[in-house]
């Protein structure tokens, strides 16, 4: 498969796209099973041999990608004929590629909502403009590559297919960590991200599982995936959410390994700190992730008092009522789970952020100064390329804090155990995560 990125002079946008794609091809498992992948870039008006622009070199270098060796290619009919996908930065480039008989190979890159949009041209602008274009490209190139299995360009091969189903999924880190573990363990399997609509979730999930593979489910499909299972774990039944699926003897199973992911993170976060055996906890957020957190806290006897606060208070109240119904009485006794109208003045030992606030690198779900006293531990389920704002704030206040990366790895390790009945190779998944910038 040959993918050609096309812009005008081939000195900034398409070389940046090429650099991103070279890295993501392996992350998305596109080279597994003998798939041959060639990535290159060309310009409709390129001066052949021109180096990448300085702005493009700097923007990519900040992400550890190198464009030093880049030399422009001019778009020709021959390049078009040799390509399977011609991804254009603008409509003008697409028009030229169509004139050169590019036909159905020609496309504009899509944004996170799936809209075909032009990629902003930073040429001659300030460095921030190059950086912005680079970030745009990371999302759109990721989306393009994530879709290539679905479109039939890459073959899952004879090995088993593992997928993450959700929307959007182009930026999921799951392909990177699972493909790294599959490779190290010598498994004939590939893991890829499949953008999936709600209406097709059940069909795809069952088809992949019954073909001998499995996978994960992410936002917004975790709840509806439950209906496609024949055997749901206790965690799935109690949380109403499934994030991992596979089949055994023709029967589709599902689990919610976010619970195990949180449990491992909790134990690691509290280890070595002199805290009560069952501390007081404030959980912020009442979505799907909060369900996994509450299930773990209640069923493993981790907390004495659990206060649940959510922006939409009715949702927190409903969650409390839900857990009062589904938690066995012996597990519920000794805890006090209640929905609270405010976190101000509370004095929890541990704060858990289960909202999505901070996912874009901005915003705080609560003001730690508003608590009666700082908690000892903060667990933020959110993670990103940089330390989350809440973790930064907590660390500045001397609170022991960690973001959601550890939970991500631990839930992935637990998924691997569901699929293969053994631990993944030690340390491989964490090592495959991109470094966090501080």
Catalytic positions, please? 222
DSSP 224: G
* 14, 355, 387, 415: which one binds ligand NAP (CB under 6 A): 355
Residue nearer to ligand NAP on the CB measure, 65 or 139:
139
Segment lying near ligand NAP (by CB under 6 A), choices 55-63, 175-183, 306-314, 319-327: 306-314
Binding residues among 189-248 for ligand NAP as defined by CB under 6 A:
219
Please identify which residue in 407, 418, 428, 432 interacts with ligand NAP, judged by CB under 6 A. Answer: 407
Determine which residue in the list 55, 90, 143, 261 makes contact with ligand NAP, applying CB under 6 A: 261
Q: Which long-range contacts (CB under 8 A, 24 or more apart) does 173-176 make?
A: 173/408, 173/433, 173/434, 174/216, 174/218, 174/412, 175/27, 175/28, 175/29, 175/146, 176/27, 176/432, 176/433, 176/434
Task: Tally Cβ neighbours within 10 Å of residue 121.
Answer: 16
Select the residue interacting with ligand NAP from 310, 327, 387, 388 (CB under 6 A).
310
The secondary element (H helix, E strand) that includes residue 293 is helix 288-299
**E strand or H helix at 401:** strand 400-402
Q: State which of residues 2, 150, 356, 400 lies at the interface with ligand NAP (CB under 6 A).
A: 356
Minimal distance, residue 190 CB to ligand NAP, in Å: 22
> At its nearest, how many Å lie between ligand NAP and the CB of residue 223?
9
Instruction: Give the shortest CB-409-to-ligand NAP separation in angstroms.
Output: 8
- Is 340 a binding residue for ligand NAP by CB under 6 A? The answer is no
In this chain, which of 197, 311, 338, 385 binds ligand NAP, going by CB under 6 A? Answer: 311
The closest of 310, 408, 324, 412 to 353, measured between CA atoms, is 310
How far from 412 is each of 175, 243, 408, CA to CA, in Å?
Answer: 10, 10, 6
Contact status: 389 vs ligand NAP (CB under 6 A): no
**Interaction mask 315-334, ligand NAP, x per CB under 6 A:** x-------------------
Applying CB under 6 A, does 359 fall inside the site for ligand NAP?
Answer: yes
Binding mask 416-435 for ligand NAP (x = CB under 6 A): --------------------
- Least distance in angstroms from the C-beta of 301 to ligand NAP: 22
Least Cβ distance, residue 438 to ligand NAP (angstroms): 18
Q: Find the distance separating the first CA and the last CA of the chain, reported in whole Å.
A: 37
Name which position in 72, 172, 411, 415 contacts ligand NAP (CB under 6 A): 411
- Choices 30-38, 325-333, 407-415, 429-437 (CB under 6 A): range interacting with ligand NAP: 407-415
Helix (H), strand (E) counts: the chain: 15, 16
Closest to ligand NAP by CB, 117 or 359: 359
Specify the residue, 105 or 291, whose C-beta has the smaller distance to ligand NAP: 291
Binding positions for ligand NAP, 103-142, rule CB under 6 A: none
Burial level of 373, CB count in 10 A (0-12/13-18/19+)? Answer: exposed
Q: Which is nearer to ligand NAP, 174 or 228 (CB)?
A: 174
Quick check: 365 binds ligand NAP (CB under 6 A)? yes
Residue burial 283-319, b: 16+ Cβ < 10 Å; e: rest: bbbbbbbbbbbbbbbbbeebbebbbbbbeeeebbbeb
Where does this chain touch ligand NAP (CB under 6 A) — which range of 131-139, 141-149, 280-288, 334-342? 280-288
How many residues at the interface with ligand NAP, by CB under 6 A? 26
| Residues 415-433: b if buried by 16+ CB within 10 A, e if exposed | bbbbbbeeebbeebbbebb
Which of 9, 102, 287, 389 binds ligand NAP (CB under 6 A)? It is 287
Counting contacts by CB under 6 A, is residue 357 touching ligand NAP? yes
Asked if 382 interacts with ligand NAP (CB under 6 A), we say: yes
Nearest distance, CB of residue 169 and ligand NAP, angstroms:
12
CB of 380 to ligand NAP, least distance (A): 9
Determine the residue with CB nearest ligand NAP: 287
| Chain positions contacting ligand NAP, by CB under 6 A | 219, 258, 261, 285-290, 310-312, 315, 354-357, 359, 365, 381-383, 404, 407-408, 411
């Amino acid at each position: 498969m040959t993918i050609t990125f096309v812009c005008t002079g081939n000195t900034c946008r398409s070389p940046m796209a090429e650099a991103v794609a070279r890295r993501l091809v392996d992350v998305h498992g596109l080279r597994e099973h003998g798939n041959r992948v060639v990535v290159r870039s060309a310009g409709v008006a390129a001066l052949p041999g021109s180096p990448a622009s300085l702005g493009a070199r700097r923007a990519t270098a900040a992400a550890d990608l190198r464009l030093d060796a880049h030399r422009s290619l001019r778009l020709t009919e021959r390049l078009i004929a040799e390509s399977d996908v011609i991804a254009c930065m603008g409509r003008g480039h697409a028009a030229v590629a169509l004139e050169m008989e590019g036909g159905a190979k020609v496309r504009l890159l899509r944004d996170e909502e799936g809209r075909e949009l032009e990629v902003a041209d930073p040429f001659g602008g300030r460095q921030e403009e190059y950086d912005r274009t680079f970030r745009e490209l990371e999302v759109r190139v990721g989306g393009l590559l994530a879709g290539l299995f679905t479109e039939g360009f890459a073959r899952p091969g004879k090995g088993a297919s593992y997928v993450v189903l959700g929307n959007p999924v182009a930026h999921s880190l799951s392909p990177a960590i699972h493909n790294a573990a599959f490779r190290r363990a010598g498994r004939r399997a590939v893991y890829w991200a499949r953008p999936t609509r709600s209406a097709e979730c059940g069909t795809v999930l069952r088809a992949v599982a019954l073909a001998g593979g499995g996978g994960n489910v992410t936002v917004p499909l975790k709840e509806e995936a439950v209906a496609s299972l024949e055997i749901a774990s206790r965690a799935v039944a109690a949380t109403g959410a499934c994030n991992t699926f596979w089949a055994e003897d023709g029967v589709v199973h599902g689990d919610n390994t976010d619970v195990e992911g949180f449990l491992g993170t909790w134990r690691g976060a509290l280890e070595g700190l002199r805290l009560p055996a069952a501390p007081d906890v404030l959980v912020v957020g009442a979505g799907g992730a909060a369900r996994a957190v509450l299930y773990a806290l209640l069923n493993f006897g981790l907390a004495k008092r659990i206060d649940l606060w959510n922006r939409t208070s009715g949702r927190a109240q409903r969650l409390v009522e839900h857990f009062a119904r589904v938690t066995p009485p012996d597990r519920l006794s000794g805890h006090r789970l209640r929905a609270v109208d405010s976190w101000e003045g509370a004095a929890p030992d541990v704060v858990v952020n289960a909202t999505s606030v901070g996912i874009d690198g901005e915003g705080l779900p609560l003001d730690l100064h508003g608590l009666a006293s700082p908690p000892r531990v903060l667990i933020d389920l959110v993670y990103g390329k940089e330390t989350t704002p809440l973790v930064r704030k907590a660390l500045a206040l001397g609170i022991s804090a960690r973001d959601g990366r550890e939970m991500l790895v631990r839930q992935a390790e637990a998924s691997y155990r569901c699929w293969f009945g053994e631990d993944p190779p030690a340390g491989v998944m964490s090592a495959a995560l991109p470094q966090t910038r501080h």
